[in-house]
Structure 1
Amino acid sequence: MKKFFALVVLTPSTAMAHPGDHRGDGLWHFLSQPDHAALIALGAAVLGYAVWKLWSRS
């Protein structure tokens, strides 16, 4: 079961927010679409938390 879960998680098609080609859309598309903006916000939150934990260790 663990191997199956790893296979599903590592399959690139499961990571797609929505189907389509974004090569010509530009940066505004990624900031204005809710699914892309949510992942950007999640990444920023995780990065901020990691930095905060590293700075508070001293």
Structure 2
Amino acid sequence: TSANLSGQKSPMKFSDISEEIRKAVDYVVEDPDNKVSEFSGSSVIKVWNNNQIKILRE
């Protein structure tokens, strides 16, 4: 899972993430400043109900 659909351009700021992606995930962490990312890919983080966190992809 990523912040873009397969074959689509990676979003570089929050507002570039499609509404389709935002509606399909359990939770979205918004960036109120909508800054352009210095990174080329998205991070994928799993959070369990007991607040355990695992970074799946940086």
- TM-score category of the 2 structures, normalised to the smaller one: under 0.3
Greater Cα radius of gyration, structure 1 or 2: 1
Task: Give the TM-score taking structure 2 as reference length.
Answer: 0.23
Decide which structure has greater helix share.
Answer: 1
Task: Give the TM-score taking structure 1 as reference length.
Answer: 0.23
Decide which structure has greater strand share.
Answer: 2
